[in-house]
Chains A and B, each alone.
Chain A
Amino acid sequence: MNNINLTIDHIEVSVQPETTLLEAAKKLKIKIPTLCYHEDLCVAGNCRVCVVEQVGADRLLPSCATPVSEGMEILTNSLKVRNARKSVIDLLVSEHRADCTRCYKSEGCELQHLSSEYLIGEDSFIDLVPLKEYTIDYFSPSIIKDDSKCIRCQRCVRTCDQLQDIGALTVAYKGEEMKVSSFFEKPMYEVVCTNCGQCVNRCPTGALIERNYIDEVWTAINNPKKHLVVQTAPAVRVALGEALGMEAGLVVTGKMVAALRRLGFDSVLDTDFTADLTIIEEGNELLQRLKGALVDKNPDVNLPMTTSCSPGWIKYIEHMYPEMLPNVSTAKSPQQMFGALVKTYYANKIKVEPENIVSVSVMPCTAKKYEANRPEMHASGYKDVDLVLTTRELAKMIQQAGIDFEALENEEFDSFMGTSSGAAVIFGATGGVMEAALRTAYEVVTGREVPFDGLNITPVRGMEEVKEATIKIEDTLPEWSFLEGAELKTCVAHGLANAKKVMDKVRSGEASYHFIEVMACPGGCLGGGGQPIPTNAEIRAQRSKAIYEEDAGKPIRKSHDNPEVIKLYEEFLKEPLGHKSHELLHTSYVERNRY
């Protein structure tokens, strides 16, 4: 199709049909303010802050929602536009509990930014806040929803609906009472919300934020009786820099470790270690299930097996597909395996009483906060993980401590439980767990490395919504001969909307897989709900690139080669899926309501 020609602020531009005015302006590096618009979501066109003037037209046009047409003359900064925009911002502020100095979102708030850019002053409209009742929902361990800070842009609603296909958040009422709500206005804690935090990542204001545990962590750090152990998830190290002013896609592992020591953590350890451990447990569970199904013909064995490291996914399946819970691997997530080991094996090793250990994790994820609070997660006899911080909270602590992050010298994780393989690193990207598991399982079965160049199982990499890969198993070791010639069918989905597609196919019998990886968040953990804001496809691609670079550069690439994991089995666990593993590293699930 022919390009469309138009002018924006008197500059000519030629773009594809269907391009929006906002996109066309972006091409000319003209910035039009937006609030309800988000690159990851369908267009809503409800905030009206992005309006522009078309010469000759009476009404203004929402640039995010208006496609270009031939010969348009667009003005983005005329007096009419400025007045209208200012009026819109002014109105939003008038119904907003604008207490920025006490607001958690103060630093990254889009409304505050626009309000200051447009010099919204004292002589504003009537303050509507005292005239209304607002609800603040503090009940969830993961997310706080504060309606008094909500600008009704519905980004959260679209996120939960479009990316996650859950619809935990909806719009209720109309007119002055219109608000973002949940099923029967129940607290988020009681509804189908998976705590994934994707809505938090996209909320432009402080209306949806993570529940932060920063002060609790500082208090613990400053308690001389406590030994502070911290673990950091794979996706944190490729994104933390963003929250501290660095560009996207930088691996900052060494600086992060240094910063954690400076903050006062006594043991700075790595969740990647238990990511490797997860692979051993989960990989063996898969092989055991395959054997049960293929050799023993045991009807109680459930295939396909799905991964279990994403707590958003776990809560989702508990709500939406409870009949398929037996298909979920019983292996705990790396965070919780770590927590269980810290207060048992590790405590013993460093000769500290478990009750004196405070186990902190830094996660790209808000659902991990919920996971740590699940009643099942007391395998050590204590709360296995005491406090969970997001990447954003860690960045905040680093700022509070006055650390010049970029200037830090790289440091190494402590040992024991600080060593990991490249397979663990890629847990942070969609397809990573699958790739890590295949690297190990294939080798266990055949005694040879997976037949992919440089161990890079590219079919499961990338941002495609659903990825499928079939691995043919040949020349097995004698004890695995029942798998000779078998085709291992795998599937990878990220974002719960995609997971739903896969699960529906599995349930209806349309698709048959052996192993399915699901991550609740788009792009996997690197796009998690606790990661730096903003997020978009480009930023996620940068983080992903960083992850695979880190993997490629690791001396150890396969989980079963991790010397610390090998030692852990020798000294403590004895064997995969053994007695100790079951006690500490595996868990069970519960059925939940569907609203």
Chain B
Amino acid sequence: MSKKNLKRLDLIFKNENDGEVILVKTMARPTHDLINDLIISGLKGRGGAGYPTGLKWKLASEAEGDMKYVICNADEGEPGTFKDREILTQVPHKVLIGMAVCAKIIGAHEGYIYLRGEYKFLLPSLNEMIDDFHVLMNKIGFDFRVKIFLGSGAYICGEESALFESMEGYRGEPRNKPPYPTNSGYRKMPTVINNVETLAHTYSIFKYGPEKFKDLGVQDSRGSKVFSVSGDTPNPGIYELEFGMSVKKFVDDFGDGDAKAVQVGGASGFCVPRKKFDKTKIGYQGKLTGVSLPTGGSMMIFNSSRSMYNVLHNYLDFFVEESCGQCTPCRVGTQQLLLGIEAVKKGERSSEYLDRLLGLAENMRVTAKCGLGQSVANSFSSIVENFKEEMIY
């Protein structure tokens, strides 16, 4: 049924066996050239925040520290997202090579893959891969070792500073920022932390040059992106697509013909109602794209049989449980939002209470300590504002 309007790309998953060649070639180049390539490519982090990768590596290369670290964030906790798992299953060597180049640029000798606990089954294959990788490192004479750290299962541990805390043996609670990881990350040392997909992209950029990557996508959102498509779709699964498509095009391709909303970026993303499909593009917030940014790349389609109240309720249930609980706006705010929509639905509070809750969500956005609490407002406000009647009746 898929109309295949959108070009399927094969940049990430193409199985290329030239890892060693690319690595040797890349390692021979001056670091500032490599950083420049990354900056020109326009690659931004695929883990959610969309921070320019070239700039991140540059800052870490300039930071001072006795040790530096490269960490691959493979915590992939967003419900309905499994693209990082696919990348680590199919093309893990691209990720490892990305880490090695990063290590060279910033001056790191230790790297970690923070692997989501549920992905434990990947351990044997990954460890085998890492052994081969170490042989390669010895061969080219580069002192860099990668270890796997198995996560504890809490969603919040995917947040970079909570991830460091967890690796250091503490409770996974996000830290205050600044300082940022490039100055003070794992063990308070300069650290580059990147999403699995981000690292895999660097491989393509070093292999094909920045222009090829930059040619894809639109201003502010360059390259391709791996999406996890789920919900009311005949074709759920993982797709690598060009950045910058409109939600309309996406729905035309993947919807079941009756889509009333698309949740872009999972629980912490935005809900786009049908009337805005046309105007909304998929990409980082920027001048051209206007709206939305995908977190893990999750795209969830809802058709008209779905209750958006239930959708929101599920998201809030998730946040109430997955908030680390340390900061007030997020710990208590999520509970109030959840109980609040229940109270309105039951008629215990008037529909005006929704405005109070929208105000609360906005206050949470500006006061919460980390991205989790800050982004609850995304789904909350976009669902409540666009589907108000469904909240009340």
Chain A residues within CB distance 8 Å of chain B? 43-49, 51, 58-60, 62, 65-67, 80, 83-84, 87-88, 91-92, 94-95, 125-126, 128, 131, 151-152, 154, 170-171, 173-178
Q: Which residues of B contact A178 (CB under 8 A)?
A: 323-326, 331
In the A-B complex, list the 7 residue pairs whose CB atoms are closest, starting with the nearest.
A178-B325, A91-B332, A65-B176, A87-B363, A45-B176, A46-B326, A175-B321
| C-alpha spacing A154/B322, complex, angstroms | 19
* A/B pair count, beta carbons within 8 Å: 116
| C-alpha spacing A59/B370, complex, angstroms | 11
| C-alpha spacing A126/B356, complex, angstroms | 12
In the assembled complex, the CB of A174 is this many whole angstroms from the nearest CB of chain B, namely: 5
| C-alpha spacing A47/B325, complex, angstroms | 11
Given contact pairs A48-B368, A174-B321, A175-B320, A154 touches B326 in the complex (Cβ within 8 A): yes
Q: Which residues of A contact B319 (CB under 8 A)?
A: 175
B366 within 8 A of A: yes
Chain A contact residues, majority secondary structure? loop
B178 within 8 A of A: yes
Interface centre among A83, A128, A173, A176 (most CB of B within 10 A): A176
Q: Determine if A66 and B327 form an interchain contact, defined as CB atoms under 8 angstroms apart.
A: no
Q: Which residues of A contact B329 (CB under 8 A)?
A: 48, 87-88, 91
Question: Which of B8-16, B225-233, B300-308, B334-342 sits within the interface?
Answer: B334-342
Q: Determine if B154 and A91 form an interchain contact, defined as CB atoms under 8 angstroms apart.
A: no
Q: Determine if A91 and B327 form an interchain contact, defined as CB atoms under 8 angstroms apart.
A: no
Q: Which of B332, B339, B359, B369 contacts A62 (CB 8 A)?
A: B369
Q: Determine if A60 and B367 form an interchain contact, defined as CB atoms under 8 angstroms apart.
A: yes
B333 within 8 A of A: yes
Q: Determine if B331 and A126 form an interchain contact, defined as CB atoms under 8 angstroms apart.
A: no
Chain B: which residue is nearest A67 at the CB level? Answer: B178
Q: Determine if B328 and A92 form an interchain contact, defined as CB atoms under 8 angstroms apart.
A: yes
Q: Determine if B324 and A48 form an interchain contact, defined as CB atoms under 8 angstroms apart.
A: no
Further pairs besides A88-B363, A95-B335: 16, Cβ < 8 Å: A45-B327, A49-B328, A51-B366, A59-B367, A59-B374, A84-B367, A87-B367, A94-B336, A128-B336, A128-B339, A152-B328, A174-B322, A174-B325, A175-B324, A176-B334, A178-B326
Q: Which of B154, B339, B359, B369 contacts A46 (CB 8 A)?
A: B369
| C-alpha spacing A538/B154, complex, angstroms | 41
Chain B contact residues, majority secondary structure? helix
B108 within 8 A of A: no
Q: Determine if A59 and B365 form an interchain contact, defined as CB atoms under 8 angstroms apart.
A: yes
| C-alpha spacing A491/B329, complex, angstroms | 46
Q: Determine if B369 and A45 form an interchain contact, defined as CB atoms under 8 angstroms apart.
A: yes
Chain B: which residue is nearest A69 at the CB level? Answer: B178
B343 within 8 A of A: yes
In the assembled complex, the CB of A25 is this many whole angstroms from the nearest CB of chain B, namely: 17
| C-alpha spacing A88/B176, complex, angstroms | 18
Interface centre among B156, B178, B319 (most CB of A within 10 A): B178
| C-alpha spacing A43/B177, complex, angstroms | 12
Q: Which residues of B contact A170 (CB under 8 A)?
A: 171
Q: Determine if A48 and B327 form an interchain contact, defined as CB atoms under 8 angstroms apart.
A: yes
Q: Which residues of A contact B173 (CB under 8 A)?
A: 171
Q: Determine if B331 and A83 form an interchain contact, defined as CB atoms under 8 angstroms apart.
A: no
Interface centre among B173, B332, B335, B368 (most CB of A within 10 A): B332
B360 within 8 A of A: yes
In the assembled complex, the CB of B56 is this many whole angstroms from the nearest CB of chain A, namely: 19
Chain B: which residue is nearest A35 at the CB level? Answer: B328
Q: Determine if A46 and B336 form an interchain contact, defined as CB atoms under 8 angstroms apart.
A: no
Q: Determine if A176 and B325 form an interchain contact, defined as CB atoms under 8 angstroms apart.
A: yes
In the assembled complex, the CB of B124 is this many whole angstroms from the nearest CB of chain A, namely: 30
Q: Which residues of A contact B368 (CB under 8 A)?
A: 48
In the assembled complex, the CB of A129 is this many whole angstroms from the nearest CB of chain B, namely: 12
